[in-house]
Amino acid sequence: MKHGILIASLLVLTLIVAPAGAFSADSLLITVDEDGSASITFKYTISWIERIAVFFKITEPDQELKFALEEALGVPVTVTSAESDNASFLVQDFAKVKSTDEGSVYTTPGLDFTGAQEILDRYWFAPLVEADFSPELTVVRFPDGYEETFANQSAIPALSHATA
């Protein structure tokens, strides 16, 4: 009995003094297709607290990201794959496409990651998590291979690119 209480006390003490978990956005790749749809791959690192929440189905990062994308873009988003450290999506009508005599002009919407904290705050473990929602590297790739890159940005501006 004393042995069990000692072990339980050590576990509680470990949880109390353990450093806060962290969520970090590692990379975001947006590949725009000729029809204006986009494949989006988001790679992230989640803490042990979040892994427990995912394991017990308290939260599902891919569904939260899908919801955030749908709210931000105003179009349906399909989850194409989800793993513990990344999620991929297909977004129809992501970019506006305008045909010209010289080719096509693609205009992508801006994305703002600052609202992600509000989503995180809905969960019981939010006070235990230090979150950085600004991807270390964001790449927006257009159909002709042209890329725009951003480092550690909390928002990505709308982009426009003409292809020949």
Cα 96–Cα 97–Cα 100 angle in degrees, nearest 5: 145
Q: Is residue 16 part of a domain?
A: no
Cα–Cα distance measured from residue 94 to residue 62, given in angstroms and rounded to the nearest whole number: 18
Tally the domains of the chain. Answer: 1
What is the distance, to the nearest Å, from the Cα of residue 52 to the centroid of all Cα atoms in its chain? Answer: 19
pTM: predicted TM-score of the whole model, two decimal places: 0.78
Q: Is residue 129 part of a domain?
A: yes
Q: Is residue 79 part of a domain?
A: yes
**77 bridge partner residues:** 91
Residue given tokens 């349906």 in the structure block: 76
Q: Which two tokens stand for residue 60?
A: 């599902």
**For residue 63, what are the domain limits?**
28-163
* pLDDT tens over the chain, length 164 residues: 554 453 444 344 334 444 445 678 899 999 999 999 999 999 988 766 555 554 445 456 778 788 888 888 899 999 999 887 889 999 999 999 999 998 999 999 999 888 776 776 776 666 766 778 889 999 999 999 999 999 999 899 999 999 98
Q: Is residue 15 part of a domain?
A: no
Q: Is residue 14 part of a domain?
A: no
Cα–Cα distance measured from residue 83 to residue 63, given in angstroms and rounded to the nearest whole number: 12
Q: Is residue 96 part of a domain?
A: yes
Q: Is residue 110 part of a domain?
A: yes
Q: Is residue 144 part of a domain?
A: yes
